[in-house]
Amino acid sequence: PFWYYNSYRELGIRTIEEFGLDICEHFLTSFCHVIYCNAFIQEVPWQRLEKDGVPHVHAFLYSSEGVRFCEVERTLEGSPIVFSGIKDLKLMKTTQSGFQGFFKDKYTTLPERRDRVLSIETLIKWCYGEGCALDAFAGPPETGHYSPSYQKTVNCIQTYILDRLPQVRWLSRFQTAFSPGFTCSC
């Protein structure tokens, strides 16, 4: 609700996870009939429109940085469970990606490619590193790394997150790959 959003801003809560915990706490302690609370929060990336360096007073542009979200579950008796994630984040590599080494049979029409454009739209959900996913997707900024297939890239991202964040217990599925409609032959 809008009133709670204003309270959230006034309290100076820094993350949507903190906001979700605060919402659950509010309803569980304010209403005696509430024994379970589930809060789902999205942080939509809006940027204020500007014209000639002057910010517009009430107009915004949707950014393409992905939507951060969290879900907090809490009961009166138990500890809260916090899920976090990012969705609608579109990433693209223009080189060092291919599609090879896959199973082939008489119905296979797609040739192997050593160099092609790889673009994905992610839905990543974890139970308490977005930064890890970006690192695993692209590799080091100086050199990058080769992606032999979408499936292998998804597996590498998941393994990378699990190896580096021991507090993550599981990862949800990724969405399917999308193609920009062409194959790079440069």
The string of pLDDT tens digits covering residues 46-69 is 888 999 999 999 888 888 788 999
DSSP character at residue 66 = -
What the block records as the tokens of 120 is: 């994905």
DSSP character at residue 80 = P
Note the pLDDT tens digit of each residue in 115-168. Answer: 888 888 888 887 764 466 667 777 788 888 788 887 777 787 778 777 776 666
Nearest to 121 by CA among 132, 139, 133: 133
N-term to C-term CA, the chain: 51
How far is 38 from 55, CA to CA, in rounded Å?
Answer: 36
